[in-house]
Chains A and B, each alone.
Chain A
């Protein structure tokens, strides 16, 4: 099953709540916008990951928790977390 903009945002909230150990209700969606990314890893490859070098359309999801911003990126195939404690993560594919 692929993501939609809404399901990707919901899944991102769920992931961030688990990572931070806080209730999902404490996480706010700051912004969800359509965006073109530079490659098929949505510009945030995990270490050692290779991706197609094609401009890819997806969504940038910015969440707020406790005054800090967290950026997720998604398209219909995948959800990624950008630069969380210095690393990128594939959340779901």
Chain B
């Protein structure tokens, strides 16, 4: 191959790489646009946080550090002699200058020219410019473009997830979060862990959820209840209609599911506490978001049955409740505990003391029940949240929480409904690392893994906000 051909090939490769980078950016814009929800009255957050820059030609520049005693006039003279100019002097580093090339010399050649001036130059290096739109090789794009900050997921709306990483956005308090970034240094979750979302169903087709949805394995028989007959449980359980799948027709269950396990680092929407997990929908709430105690019990019974058939259900999330006490519901939850299933329940939204005015199922005094209060982005108990120093165990972010919604959408929602899945999510993270942890030990770990807050002193049993990093340990 002659020398001219080499340059033709190199030019061709450069053009291809540049084209690939531009197409990649268009795909990212397209992915961001997909997150725009349909018209709704709910507050919607769907703006990607990275602002794409227009690709620009850049002049080859050098960073040259001249030896002590070399004057600016001398630097200018040297630069002019090489058809260059002094563009800037970096005041904070004595002798460091930015040299602009005026005659399109190859930057490597230019750098060598300056390095050869050993009497006056300490070092000379090419000023590499890295931006999101640079046509950089693929191996660099994975490191610098998809992960601009190490440890951060590339989900475009992650910056709005103050519960996971509160940097003080929207007048919040920096650090008032569950320390997800620290926890993710240890684990991003595991698809071996199944979390049941006992709720209004889950939109299992959602772009940010579908890869983390449970599907009944081939070796697990379809569910059959002696009284209720056969169920279509390929994708979970639907107690409101056994013949149909548990598709969410409300949105509440989909929101809870996203907090627990929206796929992370997939360039789509948000990140769940678990980037990888299996979400099993157990639908008993209808499209209005309410349902009967009996249907809740049947759904719990289903979960226990599936556990006995080998499905690794370790957590049930219960973002619902009322002041109605039911011994039968209590017994069903106890049975779930006996089967090794943690039951995480919302403390309720009446702004009242659960020690005096009980809320169920969160108030059941069972070894597998955790009752969860809600915090705002300033580490204050949310105005609507119930509390109870004897009956509410732990607090978690629950106000203005961004998560998945019906139809590939995302929206903010508030309530202890949004706090409970933070705890369910952290429980699943723990189990990803320690799959054999007993339900009692799991509960104990969660209640000990809190950041104590003055605002919760005398309000809830642990006196703190869940800290996922503490929970997953070393």
Contacts and interface: CB of A to CB of B under 8 A. Distances in A.
Interface string B284-304: 011111111100100000000
Contact of A54 (B326, B351, B414): B414
Of A48, A55, A56, chain B has the most CB atoms within 10 Å of the CB of A55
B349 A45 contact: no
Contact of B413 (A38, A39, A48, A54): A54
B346 interface: yes
A26 interface: no
The residue among A39, A41, A57 with the most chain B CB atoms within 10 A of its own CB is: A39
Nearest to A78: B288
A89 B288 CA distance: 14
Given A39-B415, A55-B414, A50 B290 contact: yes
A40 interface: yes
Interface residues of A, number: 21
A52 B417 contact: yes
A72 to B, nearest CB: 15
A61 B323 CA distance: 24
Interface residues of B, number: 37
A49 B319 contact: no
A33 interface: no
B1 interface: no
Contacts of B289: 39-41, 51-52, 54, 56, 77
A50 B291 contact: yes
A48 B297 CA distance: 12
B322 interface: yes
Nearest to A57: B41
B288 A38 contact: no
A53 interface: yes
Given A53-B346, A53-B348, A77-B287, A48 B384 contact: no
Interface string A9-44: 000000000000000000000000000001111010
Interface in B250-285: 250, 252, 255, 285
B320 A53 contact: yes
Nearest to B385: A53
A45 B322 contact: yes
A88 B55 CA distance: 63
A93 B288 contact: yes
A64 B199 CA distance: 37
Contacts of B344: none
A78 B285 CA distance: 13
A48 B326 contact: yes
Contacts of B323: 45
Interface in A53-93: 53-57, 75, 77-78, 93
Interface of B: 41, 199-200, 250, 252, 255, 285-293, 296, 319-324, 326, 346-351, 384, 413-418, 420
Interface of A: 38-41, 43, 45, 47-57, 75, 77-78, 93
Given A40-B320, A45-B290, A52-B250, 9 more contacts: A48-B324, A50-B291, A51-B289, A51-B291, A52-B285, A53-B321, A55-B413, A56-B289, A57-B41
9 contacts: A39-B289, A39-B348, A48-B322, A48-B324, A50-B285, A51-B322, A52-B320, A53-B349, A54-B413
